[in-house]
């Protein structure tokens, strides 16, 4: 590795949005540069089979996430805070996935933001009660995407990453018309 004078400009920061779920966990990775430009690097999902024991599914999520973190080295992660309780079993499952994700991020020394859905929607659309379609439309504008990322878990993860970029000091992102 060559050492030279450090560039006085801020380097681009990699921000990873994570939408936790036991069946499907969405990942969305973006880069935010010093000119306040956001670039989508990729989106994907980690999926686990419903027939496996819970411990095996959690281990699979952890291993896949750890591999991803080590390969892509994000500077910041954004994990949605749990905010539902109509299905108690689903809430417990997602809470356990969040725990695995937060522990894995902490072990890798990656800072993490945890917005609730109301805060996330308000930041992305200006309306804390925005529906999924409004969120996806605004996400496409902000990231200059031609179509909505699929599946929804990946689109949600990208929205979380955009939230992280907006929260970074001095980084005011505006949607593109």
Residue with tokens 């991803």: 68
Sheet with 13-19, edge to edge strand ranges? 38-47, 24-32, 13-19, 76-79, 111-113
Residue count (the chain): 177
Q: Which of 19, 31, 93, 156 is catalytic?
A: 19
- Residue 153 known to be catalytic: yes
Q: Which of 31, 80, 93, 156 is catalytic?
A: 80
User: In this structure, are residues 125 and 135 in contact, taking their beta carbons and an 8 Å threshold?
Assistant: yes
Phi, psi dihedrals of residue 131, rounded to the nearest 5°: -85, 175
Which residues belong to the annotated binding site?
19, 80, 153
* Residues contacting residue 81 through CB under 8 Å, at least 6 positions apart: 114, 115, 116, 117
C-alpha span between 66 and 64 (Å, rounded): 6
Which residues belong to the annotated binding site for Mg(2+)?
19, 80, 153
Residue with tokens 């902490």: 106
Residue with tokens 């994907």: 44
Q: Which of 64, 93, 153, 156 is catalytic?
A: 153
C-alpha span between 157 and 80 (Å, rounded): 9
Residues belonging to the active site: 19, 80, 153
């Amino acid at each position: 590795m060559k050492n030279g004078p450090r560039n006085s400009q801020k380097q681009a920061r990699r921000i990873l949005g994570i939408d936790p779920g036991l069946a499907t966990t969405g990942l969305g990775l973006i880069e935010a540069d010093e000119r306040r430009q956001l670039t989508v690097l990729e989106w994907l999902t980690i999926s686990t089979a419903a027939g496996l024991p819970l411990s095996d599914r959690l281990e699979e999520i952890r291993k896949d996430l750890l591999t991803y973190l080590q390969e892509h080295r994000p500077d910041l992660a954004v994990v949605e805070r749990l905010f539902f309780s109509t299905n108690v079993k689903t809430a417990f499952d997602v809470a356990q996935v969040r725990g695995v994700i937060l522990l894995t991020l902490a072990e890798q020394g990656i800072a993490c933001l945890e917005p609730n859905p109301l805060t996330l929607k308000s930041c992305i659309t200006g309306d804390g009660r925005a529906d999924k379609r409004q969120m996806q439309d605004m996400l496409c504008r902000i990231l200059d995407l031609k179509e909505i990322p699929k599946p929804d878990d990946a689109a949600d993860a990208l929205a979380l990453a955009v939230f992280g970029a907006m929260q970074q000091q001095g980084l005011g992102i505006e949607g593109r018309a």
